[in-house]
Amino acid sequence: MSATVFVYGSINTDLVVYVTRLPQPGETVIGGRYASYPGGKGANQAVAAAKAGARVRLHGCLGDDLFGRERIAALEKTGVSTAGVQVRAGVASGVAQITVDEQGENTIAVAPGANMSFSPEGIAVEKPAPGETLVSLFQNEIPQEATEQLIIRSHQAGHHVLWNIAPTLSHRPTVESLHAIDYLICNRNELAGLTGAEGDPARAAAIPLGWGVKRVIVTLGREGSILIGPNEELHIDAFRVEAVDTVGAGDCFCGVFAAFLAAGLAEKDALRTASAAAAISATRRGAQPSMPDRAEIEEFLRSRSGS
């Protein structure tokens, strides 16, 4: 598969506790199992895209510490280029504390550390060759101002720009940034946080279109996903699986969608492929370790051809 994806985002270490149920505020749940995994939305999506067959170049920021060195080694082992990863001396690398229950649902608290020191300075955005599709993929775990600068520069260079607004944005993006977005990707809560509109996600998704965004994709968990454009509405069903850990499933969706979009797959087919990959991811523990490779995705789709 000939595809190139540039990812700009966070790199974390996930510290995970698996419990029978999520604790209530002020409650301690005893008996959990602990595990540590590579994580961070930027790194997760980069790994998902790389395992799906894309050439991936990751831009992020780490501290010069043990977690940082471990993350570089793990990313390079998956084939992700880390030449664009900035390393800050005296700053802690990002970590996420995650709790997962028996149904695979989770709560996450993040200490971003070096991620918030990420700078767009000195990053040269490559222009696509004639006939080439380059995709730039963003999230919201590095400074929003840096993200918006790079979104505009990527758009100006001729990239397809995908922005997964997770976690929820702290403030509305600039008009110039919104007009540079080809696909705004979010879940229900993130969409509501951006627009202030509750209820029907299709109706709420129309609001960013009025701001200049070209298309909005809303992920709906077990209900699949929808894509809303000026003259289109697609619904992609979710694949039914026995979920054990949903951490990273959304990142898997974004990374795989970016990879297959860059490869020239039709929009609807790229969404279905991303949905299949996310379903596989939810059946495995951990974020990056759960990401399926291209062969696994294709075999899953063959086995569910009637789904």
Superfamily (CATH) of domain 4-9+41-91+116-303? Ribokinase (3.40.1190.20)
CA separation for the pair 104, 9 (Å, rounded): 25
Q: Which of 286, 267, 245 is nearest to 43 (CA)?
A: 286
CA separation for the pair 264, 212 (Å, rounded): 24
pLDDT per residue as tens, the chain (307 positions)? 689 999 999 999 999 999 999 999 999 999 889 999 999 999 999 999 999 999 999 999 999 999 999 999 999 999 999 999 999 999 999 999 989 898 888 888 989 999 999 999 999 999 999 999 999 999 999 999 999 999 999 999 999 999 999 988 888 999 999 999 999 999 999 999 999 998 899 999 999 999 999 999 999 988 999 999 998 999 999 999 999 888 899 999 999 999 999 999 999 999 999 999 999 999 998 889 999 999 999 999 999 886 5
The answer to whether 101 is a known catalytic residue is: no
* Per-residue tokens: 202: 């299709």
CA separation for the pair 238, 279 (Å, rounded): 8
Beta carbons of 187 and 164 less than 8 angstroms apart:
no
Which residues neighbour 201 within 8 Å (Cβ) at sequence distance 6 or greater? 188, 191, 218, 220, 226
- Distance from the first to the final alpha carbon of the chain: 25
DSSP code string of 94-109 = EEEEEEE-TTS-EEEE
pLDDT in tens, 68-95: 999 999 999 999 999 999 999 999 999 9
For the chain, domain boundaries: 4-9+41-91+116-303
Q: What's the pLDDT score for residue 306?
A: 63
Q: Whole-prediction pTM value? A: 0.93
Catalytic residue among 14, 65, 245, 251: 251
Q: What's the pLDDT score for residue 1?
A: 65
CA separation for the pair 204, 285 (Å, rounded): 32
Q: What's the pLDDT score for residue 247?
A: 83
Query: Which residues of the chain form beta strands (DSSP E)?
Result: 4-8, 12-18, 33-39, 55-59, 61-63, 86-88, 94-100, 106-111, 134-138, 160-164, 183-187, 216-219, 225-229, 232-236
pLDDT in tens, 194-216: 999 988 999 999 999 999 999 99
